[in-house]
Amino acid sequence: MSGTNPSVCVDVTTLIHWQRPAVGIVRVEQQLCRWLLSELPPNLHFVAFDSSKGQFKQLTHSAVQSHLDRLDSYSTAQHVTAQQALPNLEERLRRKALSLLSFVPAPWRLSAYRQLLKARPIIHTWVKLARRVRSKLKSNAAVQTPAEDNTFFELPRGSTYISLGLDWNYKDMAQIYRIKKAQDLKLLLFCYDIIPIRLPHLCVADVSRQFAHYFVDLAWCADLILCISESSQRDLTGFLGNMSVPQPRTEVIRLGADILPGQGETGPVSEGISRFTNEPYILFVSTIERRKNHEILYRAYTRLAEEGLALPQLIFVGMPGWGVGELHADLALDPRTQGRIHALNHVNDIELAHLYQNASFTVYPSLYEGWGLPVAESLAYGKFCLCANTSSLPEVGEQWVEYLDPWDLPAWVERLRFFITHPEEIAQRNAAISAGYSPHPWRQTAADIYRHACALSQS
């Protein structure tokens, strides 16, 4: 390996497994791959990890491009219904058990409840097993392209390995550590956030423990960890500082905000999108889950509806997540907000860009973030954002957004009322953002990641 042309292995395991439009973490991997395929640096290898064998497979450049094209092809925005947003398996089992208890004669009900509590660890074990089986089936069903090489690949000795995907789902870090030692690799890994560790009540049951184990393993494996915000960096170093683990070097890297190259005209969009853009609307782009705090917007809208305020459409864009089954039921049934709040799923990049371009303004009331990419995307499209004041979000929005406590319902009601009834204020703020905000391009993010990898290989 020469000093100027280090061998770099980029892991695309998440990319080849993902079966919907790119979001969040997947977008980072997608954008790095796009940049690498355009620049084609020497000694570049794309690899995917087979956890069942504990080995890597190499992908040709054309295979990676095929997977990128596949992600771009996902389309047709869909309404998220209450049925699609069913609670997770544990929650459904809990509700069913409590429902069945109502049929137990009253004198025996307490005893039956105690027996259920005793059985909870066993039920939890079976749920975990079911998840692992489902994950394995999904892994085996991952899209394959004819250009993929199904023979196992030995990472070049002394090379730098980059992984920035959903490693806690697809990797056994103990296996990665053994390969690192055997091949004398340098590992550049990512930390998006440690929210499941910091705020476990906002996540699915076992994710907190899974994340804690993952980041402990990460500390043993990584030579460099890139964090996506100073907030995430503080959270990670604070957590690792309380554990008996190595303290790898960390750096902060800024994510891109351009959804489409050049942020120009978006082209034709589906009827499912265009029908919303013929009248004013407020946009909230985020996975629809409890942590993102869609609930406060719904409650604010019900208050404003009761005042008789003429409400613009409020559009949620994101895949259904955890802990919001009842919210979706409320949205479907509450006559105060029926026809005013809509949840869209499977929105591709062209459609998402179109929604940003035509929104009056955006909102982002999330309880906690690792970065807050939709805030940056909103600003990149010249749109003002009413945003939560937590975690990393002030790093993203800087002086361009207005911040509110995500728990302060009266404040959200008041500021939504103000901006809905003062469109000239929104127009002024949007114009200031368009004139003064400089979005960070994804090509720069990708170049920075690669630069860190090259520097690591020579350290």
**15-33: pLDDT as tens digits:** 999 988 888 899 999 999 9
Per-residue pLDDT, 315: 98
- The residues, ordered by sequence, that sit 6+ positions from 72 with a Cβ below 8 Å of its Cβ are 348, 349
pLDDT at res. 304 = 99
Spatial contact of 363 and 284, defined as CB atoms under 8 Å apart = yes
Please report which confidence band the pLDDT of residue 85 belongs to, taking 50, 70 and 90 as the band edges. very low
The answer to whether residues 127 and 90 touch, using CB atoms and an 8 Å cutoff, is: yes
Cα distance between residue 204 and residue 323, in whole Å: 8
Residue type, 82: A
Q: Tell me how far CA of residue 377 lies from CA of 257, 359, 434, in angstroms.
A: 5, 12, 12
pLDDT of residue 262: 62
Does the structure show a pLDDT above 60 at 153?
yes
C-alpha span between 86 and 83 (Å, rounded) = 6
Alpha carbons 114 and 397: distance in angstroms, whole number: 49
Reported as a single tens digit per residue, the pLDDT across 250-298 is 999 999 999 987 655 556 788 889 889 889 999 999 999 999 999 999 9
Chain position carrying tokens 């009834």? 421
Percent of the chain with pLDDT over 70: 81
- Rounded average pLDDT over 113-136: 59
3-state helix, strand, coil in the chain (%, to 5): 50, 15, 35
% of the chain exceeding 90 in pLDDT: 70
**Average of per-residue pLDDT values in the chain:** 88
Rounded average pLDDT over 126-135: 56
Domain residue spans of the chain:
8-78+142-256+443-457, 89-104+111-140, 261-438
Give the pLDDT score at 233.
99
Per-residue pLDDT tens over the stretch 178-213: 999 999 999 999 999 999 999 999 988 778 999 999
The CATH architecture to which 8-78+142-256+443-457 belongs is 3-Layer(aba) Sandwich (3.40)
Structurally, what CATH architecture does the domain formed by 261-438 represent? 3-Layer(aba) Sandwich (3.40)
| Residue 459: per-residue pLDDT | 82
Q: Which pLDDT value is given to residue 114?
A: 63
The 10s digit of each residue's pLDDT in 324-355 is 989 999 999 999 999 999 999 989 899 999 99
H/E element holding 191?
strand 186-191
Name residue, tokens 């009331």.
365
